Amino acid sequence: MLTFVFVCLSISVTGLHAGFTVTVPNPSIKVKENERADLKCTYTADFGATPRVEWMFKDLKGSQSFIYFDNKPTAQYASRITVYSGGLRFNKVTRADTGNYDCEVSGNGGYGEKTVKLTVLVPPSKPVSRVPSSVTTGSNALLTCFDNDGSPPPTYKWYKDNSPLPDDPSKFPSFKNLTYKMNAYSGVLEFPSVSKLDIGSYFCESSNGEGAPQRGDAVRMDVLDVDSSQVPAERDTLSTETYVVPSKSTLNHIMEKMYGVFTLQEVKQKLEIQKLELEITKLKLELQKQRHEV
C-alpha cells in the first residue's frame, strides 16, 4: 500500500514539471527605421496547458522594462505592438527600439527564455566635432567627434588637410613623424605631445554602412610656442610681492597649456577667481600688519 502511494506521488510531481522548449528562429534582426519588425518566438509544451508569455526589453544603456506583461502590452507600447502566438510585432520601429528582447515562457513549474536582438538601422548624421583653434608645443591635445543619431553606432575617421589619417602613422612615410593616437570607435584623435608638424585643418567623418558617410566642419589647428620666462612661478607661502603680468597673447598660450580643452570663457573665469583670491590674501596680510602696529 505504501509503495502504491509513493508511485502516485512520483507521477504527480513529474507532471508538474513537464518540460517545454522556447525557440527563436532568428536571434538577430536588423530593420530600417519606421519599418515593421517581427520578433519570432515559439514554444512547445507537453503538459497540455497554455503557458504564460512575457516580453522584456533591455536598451543599449542597460535599462530594463516589460513591454508585454499579464497578457497585455504595457502602457507605453499599447499602440505600437501586437503579440501573437508566434512572437511580437512592431507596427513601426524607432531608433530607441534598438536593444535585446527577452521572450519568457513559464507555466506548470517550467520556465524557458530566449533573446532576440533588434537593431534599428539609421544613417549617420553630420557629426559634432571639437578641434582647438590653437595649442602649445609639447601640450596634450584632444580632438573629439561624435554622431548621436547613427545606428548601429558609427565608426570615425579623421582628415588633416583633406587627407585621411591612417590608424598607425608609423607605417606611412608621409605620416611617420606624427605621434597621434586615433580611436575609430570613440572618435577621439589625441596628440600626446603637440609639435609644429601637427599644424593643419582637421575634420572627422562618421559612417555605419547605412547611407553615405557624413563629415563634420573643418577647423584649423595652430601650434604656438610659449614664452616660459613670463609664466609666474608657483609660491608655497603667502606674499604681497608684485607679480609680473604677462601679455594678453602669452596669457592665451598659458591658459591653453594649463587647461587644455577648456573653453576660453571658462579659463577667463578661473583667472578672475585667482585674482580675487590674491586680492583677498593681500587684504588679510595688510590687516595683520595693521594689528601688529597697533
Residue 136 confidence (pLDDT): 95
Average pLDDT, the chain: 79
Residue 187 neighbours by CB under 8 Å, 6+ apart: 127, 129, 144, 145, 146, 147, 156, 204, 206
pLDDT digits (tens, 9 = 90+) for 103-151: 998 887 778 899 999 999 999 999 999 999 999 999 999 999 999 889 9
> What value does the mean pLDDT take over residues 6-30?
62
pLDDT reading at 64 higher than 90: yes
CA angle, 123 then 128 then 131, to 5° = 140
Q: Which residue has the higher pLDDT, 51 or 4?
A: 51
Taking residues 81-96, report their average pLDDT. Answer: 93
Higher per-residue pLDDT: 156 or 259: 156
Residue 20 pLDDT: 74
pLDDT of residue 244: 40
When pLDDT is cut at 50, 70 and 90, the band that residue 13 belongs to is very low
Tens digits of per-residue pLDDT, 28-41?
Answer: 999 999 999 999 99
Band of pLDDT at residue 246, cut at 50, 70 and 90: very low
Q: Is the pLDDT of residue 249 over 70?
A: no
Residue 5 has pLDDT above 50, yes or no: no
When pLDDT is cut at 50, 70 and 90, the band that residue 252 belongs to is low
Question: Hey, what's the cell of 278?
Answer: 590674491
Average pLDDT on 217-240 reads 63
Residue 95 has pLDDT above 50, yes or no: yes
Write down the pLDDT at residue 146.
Answer: 95
pLDDT at 293: 61
What integer is the mean pLDDT of 277-284? 70
pLDDT tens-place string over residues 157-195: 999 999 999 988 888 877 777 889 999 999 999 999 999
